[in-house]
Structure 1
Amino acid sequence: MIIVPIYPGQGLGNQLWVYVVGRSIADETGRSFHLEGYANFKGTDFLDITSDTSSPQGDQAPARDPVTCFHERQFYDEELNTVCSGFDERVVEAAGSLRLEGLFQDERYFFGKPERLPQYIQPKPELAAAYPVAPDVCVLNIRGGEYKHHPALLLKKAYWENAMANMTKLGTVKRFVTVTDDAAYARRLFPDLPIVSGNVAACFMTILNARHVILSNSSFGYFPAKLGQQKTVIAPLHWARPDNALGRWASPANLYTDWLWQSGDGTITNYADLVSRRDACEQHYLSRYTVLIDPQTIPAQGWRRFVPPGLRRLAKAGLSRLAPSRVG
């Protein structure tokens, strides 16, 4: 059996990644699958998923063999100040019942069978139909919120402007719409563009129904961009550390097929031309990052670690009104 836990604090994109990869590993290795913590799933209202493939036993995993916790291989890159992951081939050889812990955001966990994704996740058709997108519209999936606390992660306005120009060159895009978790931030960036925000289902289905999408470096956008009709997708080169001077993928897991990848100066590169660079980055981690450490020893990021959570919430509420482009 493959057991996948989902947690209350996880975002929907992270929940969906561990779910679909758990399903795929279970199918690839001939095991049953169990989703632990289904009550924490944030897509219940608009996505159909399968929480158990063995028997209708609710949220409790059926009693089977002893369960081994499988921790996906991860690397703390001190130079980029982030934790990276790729494809951990050891999971296929691990015997017995496994409980998966990790990021698991690599398409290589589909084992060359991308058709598994729409089998594992089905958007509710009545909700998908409620958010149509015209063929000449391009959707910008702008991520603000807590990303504004991390300058190395937050995409600059120039990324969006260059991507809009690149989409327009295709000849079919005439209008743009923003889908965002942070309406005030999106409005500050592009005051004249329509905004979809505040409803996760509406955001998901709007991206799902679009033919042209410009993504942020958030795991949320992967699923509506990959599901539904084929799309033209632009995403940021190097993902969570866009256009970093070291040229590293953060993470190697986050290079995805069929998308166009845009650098800081607006240059577009396709997936096939980036695979060798991704592989070299992954090999860099595998060959040099060989010392295991307690994840609790990884330094917390930013000034927020010095401020109590209650005071942080009050400060955030006030500052977000004064400076929406910097505080989420």
Structure 2
Amino acid sequence: MIIVRLQGGLGNQLFQYAAGKALAHRLNKPFKLETITSLQKDKKRSIALQGLQGDFALASPKEVKEFLTFPSLYRHNTAFFSRFGRNIYKEPHFHFDKNFSCLKDPVFLDGFWQSPFYFQDIESTIRKDFTVKPELVSKVLEKGKELEQRSSVAVHVRRGDFTNKAATSYHGILSAFYYEKAIGLIKEKDPSACIYFFSDDIEWVKQNLAVDKNVQFISSFENSAIEDFYLMTKCRHNIVANSSFSWWPAWLNTNSDKIVVAPKKWFVDTTINTNDLIPPEWRRL
């Protein structure tokens, strides 16, 4: 049995699922998701994967107890359990962990696993699992067709929760300069590009970015998270924020001629190695 601990929002949960699924595939073992020590105790988060096509089976309390004798205590003392628990593997650092491929069954995975290297062997399966259920995006299907037919660029500007003091000190906030330079780079290669801003702060975008008339604004307050996610996957090109939520639509984008721009600085702490997060064909600014 492979169990992966779910934590964070949709983008984080996608990475966790993909890594766990890949390991289970390699070992030919059952795979389940654990929420007892994390999401069930987090009032701000929930299971965000249920709008996708994959089989997101949840581990039962009994199955979790095979690894964690006292699951309710794990959230408060992960270091103790990682050292003395049974078959618990905690992610040692942000970049790709080469020891991951050596793990054996059974194992409880606790980490973020933010690198495509973890699931590169089952890429087609992950793309299929992360297809959005059409009934959840019926309201925006026509907009999706429009994005597919145009030389559209999804520009994700995430501010909202990133503007509070704690988040800013860790993640940082991307500058207007980054977005303007990224848009310029894509327009240089694709002059017909049409810009679509996806943001939780449209007013900031309008006031701070030098945009022309050929733009549209898509507010995250008008759509659900899964609708925005779906629409960003339908764009021809992507400009991503330092956010796993915008990383995934760019990766899932199947256009062979796509241009993806991502920030060089993903975190405020530049000692965190993010080289394994960004695919080599993406441009970093």
TM norm structure 1: 0.65
CA drift at 1:89: 2.4
**Worse-matched range after superposition: 248-257 or 150-159:** 248-257
Aligned to 1:187: 206
* Mapped partners of 1:64, 1:19: distance in 2: 16
SS of the residue 1:99 aligns to = strand
- For 1:33-72, what aligned pairs fall within 5 Å after superposition? 33-37=31-35, 40-44=46-50, 46-52=51-57, 59-60=59-60, 63=63, 66-67=66-67, 68-72=87-91
Compare the two structures and name the one with the higher helix fraction: 2
Partner residue in 2 for 1:169: 188
* Deviation for aligned residue 1:61: 6.2
> How far has the Cα of 1:217 moved from its partner?
1.0
Q: CA distance change for structure 1 residues 214 and 64 in 2, over 3 Å: closer, same or farther? A: closer
Detail structure 1 runs of 4+ shifted over 6 Å in the superposition: none
1:235 partnered with 2:235: no
Q: CA, structure 1 residues 249+170, in 2 after alignment: closer, same or farther (shift >3 Å)?
A: farther
Paired AA for residue 236 in structure 1: P
The match for 2:248 is 223
Q: CA deviation at 1:191?
A: 7.9
SS in 1 for 2:88: strand
Aligned counterpart, 1:119: 128
For 1:167-316, list aligned pairs within 5 A: 167-190=186-209, 193-196=215-218, 197-198=220-221, 199=223, 200-230=225-255, 231-241=258-268, 250-262=273-285
Q: CA–CA distance in 2 between the matches of 1:163 and 1:61?
A: 47
Q: In the alignment, which residue of structure 2 is the partner of 1:294? A: none
For 2:64 and 2:182, the matched residues in 1 are separated by 50
Corresponding residue number in structure 2 for 1:281: none
Identify if the C-alpha distance between structure 1 residues 135 and 62 changes in structure 2 by more than 3 Å, giving closer, same or farther. Answer: farther
- Sequence identity (%): 23
Does structure 1 conserve the Cα–Cα contact (< 8 Å) formed by 2:89 and 2:107? yes
Q: Provide the C-alpha distance between the structure 2 equivalents of 1:241 and 1:213, rounded to a whole number of angstroms.
A: 22
Following TM superposition, by how much is the alpha carbon of 1:137 offset from its aligned partner in structure 2, in angstroms? Answer: 2.3
Match of 1:32 in 2: 30
Q: 1:194 to 1:125 in 2, by over 3 A?
A: same
Q: In structure 1, the residue corresponding to 2:60 is in which secondary structure?
A: coil
Residues 236 and 253 in structure 2, CA contact (< 8 A), matched pair in contact too: no
Distance 1:49 1:131, change over 3 A: farther
Task: Quote the Cα distance in structure 2 between the aligned partners of 1:187 and 1:138.
Answer: 17
- Equivalent-residue separation in structure 1 for 2:180 and 2:29 (angstroms): 46
1:146 is aligned to: 161
| One-letter identity of the residue aligned with 2:261 | I
Give the CA deviation at 1:194.
2.6
Q: RMSD across aligned C-alpha pairs, in angstroms? A: 2.8
Deviation at 1:183, TM superposition (A): 2.9
Distance in 2, Cα, partners of 1:143 & 1:173: 25
Given that 2:33 and 2:56 are in contact with CA atoms closer than 8 Å, whether structure 1 keeps it comes out as yes
Stretches of structure 1 that go unaligned for 5 or more consecutive residues are 53-57, 75-84, 263-328
Q: 1:32, 1:239 → 2: CA distance? A: 34
Secondary structure, counterpart of 2:12 in structure 1:
helix
The alpha carbon displacement at 1:206 in A equals: 1.6
Unaligned runs of 5+ residues in structure 2 are 41-45, 68-86
* Residue 124 of structure 2 is aligned to residue 102 of structure 1: no
Residue-pair matches, total: 240
Partner amino acid for 2:15?
W
CA offset at residue 22 of structure 1? 0.8
